[in-house]
């Protein structure tokens, strides 16, 4: 026996008996399977770092020795049970629909111009989209394609930074934030969803008002929530069928809306607005602008936005609704066909296509309605009070899509315009179920949680039990929103979400090429592209961090954004601390059972 083999033998840890068939040369870092009767198919990994060595036997019964470390028992399952059945269209769809483009156009024109009336939506859309494409989409796409396992940001953060960071960030993002969004966005289907649709088709005002009541919000939100739960637990195939239909309807209605907008002139809109104002006894186009500017004292821009970089960057938090949320694709990376191609393409397309629509609508809205009018209506739509709000009695309301609906008298076209918000908001519920169920599944695979986290229905190939937890939590949130909306509003979390989701993942992307413990994963990655002497992954991570930095700056300097609150910070910090404690408790628990979980985070969980 040479000196190297002798050293290996001195470091050997005998784990279980194997047959002589397993006495083969195995490269360091690789795994091999025992065929012994008593071990069945347990997997072992070489521990001692030399180029090669032989699995040998000590006297008597054969043993795994000479530096072999048992790893098969580290993961909760030998195979995930999830099936790769998402095509490129499906992968793109989950990212695109989670970007809620139709909602994002509304937030940009309403929420954005309320915060920053001088902001240039066209320039802001171009700049924000470029940073999301070459920053967020590249980072999440490269990391997801390099580590194609379902579980979201937990997979990359736990392997690259630390599992305690991975579980803490995942609990906030996939657990709390997804519950929070269902509790907020499911009620949005009632108001402003149904109220905008009914206003666009000139429905009975009493019916419109009913959808603003707590009872209506609970009914609509619960129906949408239960539907989302059902199409997720019945498997990704069923979800994808629903997604394709809803995505087609969303595209169709938004394109119809864009055509109506851009084939109309400024004079057409002013005449249509003034005609409806005369019927409803509301302010005219010019009176709306002058009342907001001269009486309420809002510093509106002129008819065209001009160039104000600071005001334009202040639009980023609103524009991000339509460009930055495609990262949900990473929650199904273990269920994507041809993952190394489809994950990155899905991420990029989910940002590129919204960018095209944002540019189209940014130009159309200003050209047809005027920047000053859009700023005035944004104030009426979001302000707390004032002369303009008191004198605005237009029956269609102040929603962006309601304004566009004034440009047509065709009932079907009005229906399409009014339903844009609903179609683009609808899939947020099932996508949130996918996110939580897959994240909890990934925790369970690494044994950071009860074993039933990894239970997958053999019929539907879905972790059903995890979705049941989300259903219960989100229904409680819906009732709170309906009857105590101020309690939900008080938990402002957007700023901390930006840091914990986009920010921490960008740090993982920045470290990925240089961290020794994931070197084998990086070496196997197909995304080791260079931009001069620097990895493209590094450049993308820096762009991602710069985008997050811009968001954080405005979140903390513009109180009207409502992006941070004492309660929101308290909730986030509590969950972060809980996540870290959760990690140490489960590591300690399994260590007592003779399982060293640290081995798990040196490789990817079974596919």
Tell me the C-alpha to C-alpha distance, in Å, between residue 365 and each of 111, 170, 399, 424, 574. Answer: 14, 38, 13, 19, 43
User: For 496-518, what is each residue's pLDDT tens digit?
Assistant: 778 888 999 999 999 999 999 99
pLDDT at position 467 over 50: yes
CB 42 within 8 A of CB 88: no
Lowest-confidence pick of 69-83, 109-123, 174-188, 421-435: 69-83
Confidence grade of residue 489 (pLDDT, cut at 50, 70, 90): low
Residue bearing tokens 């609103």: 318
The maximal CA–CA distance of the chain, rounded, in angstroms, is 100
Cα 479 to Cα 160, 187, 215, 219, 271: the distances in Å are: 39, 10, 9, 10, 42
pTM of whole model > 0.85? yes
526-555 pLDDT tens trace: 999 999 999 999 999 999 999 999 999 998
CATH fourth-level superfamily of 88-592? Amino acid/polyamine transporter I (1.20.1740.10)
Q: What does residue 33 show for φ and ψ, rounded to 5 degrees?
A: -110, 135
Q: Which residues have CB under 8 Å from 487's CB, separation 6+? A: 480
Task: Tell me which residue of 464, 477, 554 sits closest to 177, measured CA to CA.
Answer: 477
Task: Please determine, for residue 311, whether its predicted confidence score (pLDDT) is greater than 60.
Answer: yes
Q: Are 378 and 114 in contact (CB under 8 A)?
A: yes
Could you report the per-residue pLDDT of 566-584, keeping only the tens digit for each? 777 788 889 999 999 999 9
Find the helix or strand (DSSP H, E) in which 26 lies: strand 25-27
With cut-offs at 50, 70 and 90, classify the pLDDT of residue 50. very low
Q: Is the pLDDT of residue 194 over 90?
A: yes
Chain-wide mean pLDDT for the chain?
87
Task: Judge contact between 76 and 444, C-beta under 8 A.
Answer: yes
Distance separating alpha carbons of residues 259 and 427, to the nearest angstrom: 24
Quick check: helix, strand or coil at residue 66? coil
* 202 token code pair: 């000139």
Say yes or no to pLDDT of 280 above 90: yes
pLDDT attached to residue 560 = 79
How far is it, in rounded angstroms, from Cα 524 to Cα 520?
Answer: 6
Q: Which two tokens stand for residue 306?
A: 């001009």
* pLDDT at res. 598: 83
Query: Distance between CA atoms of 364 and 406, rounded to whole angstroms?
Result: 15
Q: 434: Cβ–Cβ under 8 A, 6 or more apart, which residues?
A: 94, 232, 236, 239, 328, 331, 332
pLDDT at residue 563, as a whole number: 67
Tell me how far apart the alpha carbons of residues 38 and 17 are, in angstroms, rounded to a whole number. Answer: 7
Give SS3 for 344.
helix
Q: What is the pLDDT of residues 195-249, one digit of tens each?
A: 999 999 989 999 999 999 999 999 999 999 999 999 999 999 999 999 999 999 9
- Residue 495: pLDDT band (50, 70, 90) is confident
Cis, peptide link before residue 192, omega less than 30° from 0: yes
**CA distances (Å), origin 109, targets 114, 159, 396:** 8, 40, 17
Structure letter (DSSP) for residue 491: S
Q: Quick one: pLDDT at residue 492?
A: 63
Q: Which residue has the higher pLDDT, 449 or 11?
A: 449
Find how far residue 58's CA is from the centre of its chain.
53
- Which pair of structure tokens corresponds to residue 604? 């990817």
Q: Say yes or no to pLDDT of 30 above 90.
A: no
List, in sequence order, every residue forming a beta bridge with 45; answer none if it has no partner.
31, 69
Q: What's the pLDDT at 9?
A: 41
Domain edges within the chain: 3-72, 88-592
pLDDT of 471 > 60? The answer is yes
Residues in the chain: 607
Residue 323, pLDDT > 90, answer yes
The yes-or-no verdict on residue 109 having pLDDT over 70 is: yes
Q: What percent of the chain has pLDDT over 90?
A: 74
Query: Angle CA(406)–CA(319)–CA(415) in degrees, nearest 5?
Result: 30
Residue 71 zone, left/alpha/beta (φ > 0; ψ -120 to 50; rest) = alpha
Phi, psi of 32 (to 5 degrees): -140, 160
HEC per residue, 2-24: CHHHHHHHHHCCCCCECCHHHCC
């Amino acid at each position: 026996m040479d000196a190297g083999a002798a050293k290996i033998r001195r470091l050997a840890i005998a784990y279980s008996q194997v047959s002589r068939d397993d006495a083969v040369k195995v490269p360091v870092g690789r795994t091999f399977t025992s065929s012994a009767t008593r071990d069945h198919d347990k997997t072992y990994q070489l521990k001692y770092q030399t180029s090669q060595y032989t699995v040998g036997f000590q006297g008597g019964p054969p043993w795994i020795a000479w530096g072999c470390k048992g790893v098969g028992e580290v993961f909760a399952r030998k195979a995930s049970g999830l099936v790769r059945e998402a095509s490129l269209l499906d992968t793109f769809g989950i990212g695109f629909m989670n970007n809620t483009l139709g909602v994002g156009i509304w937030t940009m024109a309403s929420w954005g111009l309320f915060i920053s009336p001088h902001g240039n939506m066209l320039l802001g859309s171009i700049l924000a989209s470029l940073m999301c494409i070459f920053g967020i989409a590249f980072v999440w796409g490269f990391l997801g394609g390099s580590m194609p396992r379902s579980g979201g940001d937990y997979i990359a953060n736990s392997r690259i930074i630390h599992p305690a960071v991975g579980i803490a960030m995942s609990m906030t993002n996939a657990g709390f934030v997804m519950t929070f969004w269902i509790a907020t966005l499911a009620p949005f289907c009632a108001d402003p969803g149904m109220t905008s649709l009914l206003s666009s088709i000139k429905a009975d005002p009493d019916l419109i008002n009913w959808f603003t009541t707590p009872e209506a919000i609970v009914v609509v939100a619960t129906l949408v929530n239960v539907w989302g739960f059902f199409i997720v637990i019945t498997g990704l195939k069923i979800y994808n069928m629903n997604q394709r239909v809803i995505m087609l309807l969303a595209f169709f209605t938004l394109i119809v809306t864009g055509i109506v907008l851009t084939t109309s002139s400024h004079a057409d809109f002013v005449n249509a607005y003034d005609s409806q104002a005369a019927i409803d006894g509301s302010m005219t186009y010019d009176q709306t602008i002058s009342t907001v500017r001269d009486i309420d004292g809002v510093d509106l821009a002129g008819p065209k936005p001009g160039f104000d970089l600071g005001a334009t960057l202040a639009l980023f938090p609103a524009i991000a609704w339509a460009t930055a949320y495609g990262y949900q694709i990473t929650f199904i990376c273990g269920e994507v066909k041809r993952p190394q191609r489809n994950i990155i393409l899905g991420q990029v397309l989910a940002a590129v296509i919204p960018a095209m629509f944002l540019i189209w609508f940014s130009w159309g809205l200003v050209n047809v309605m005027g920047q000053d009018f859009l700023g005035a209506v944004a104030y009426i739509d979001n302000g707390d009070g004032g002369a303009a709000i008191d004198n605005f009695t237009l029956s269609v309301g102040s929603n962006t899509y309601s304004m566009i609906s004034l440009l047509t008298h065709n009932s079907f076209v009005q229906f399409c315009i009014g339903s844009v918000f609903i179609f683009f908001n609808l899939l947020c519920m099932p996508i949130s179920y996918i996110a939580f169920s897959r994240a909890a599944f990934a925790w369970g695979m690494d044994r950071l949680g009860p074993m039933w986290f990894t239970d997958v229905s053999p019929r539907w190939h879905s972790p059903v039990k995890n979705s049941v937890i989300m259903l219960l939590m989100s229904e409680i949130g819906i009732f709170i929103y309906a009857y105590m909306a101020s309690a939900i509003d008080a938990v402002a979390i957007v700023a901390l979400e930006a840091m914990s989701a986009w920010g921490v993942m960008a740090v993982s992307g920045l470290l990925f090429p240089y961290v020794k413990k994931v070197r084998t994963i990086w070496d196997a990655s197909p995304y080791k592209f260079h931009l001069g002497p620097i990895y493209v992954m590094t450049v993308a991570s820096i762009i991602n961090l710069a985008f997050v930095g811009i968001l954080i700056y405005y979140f903390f300097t513009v109180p009207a954004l409502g992006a941070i609150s004492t309660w929101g910070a308290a909730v986030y910090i509590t969950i972060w601390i809980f996540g870290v404690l959760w990690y140490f408790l489960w590591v300690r628990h399994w260590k007592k059972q003779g399982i060293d979980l640290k081995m798990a985070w040196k490789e990817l969980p079974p596919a």
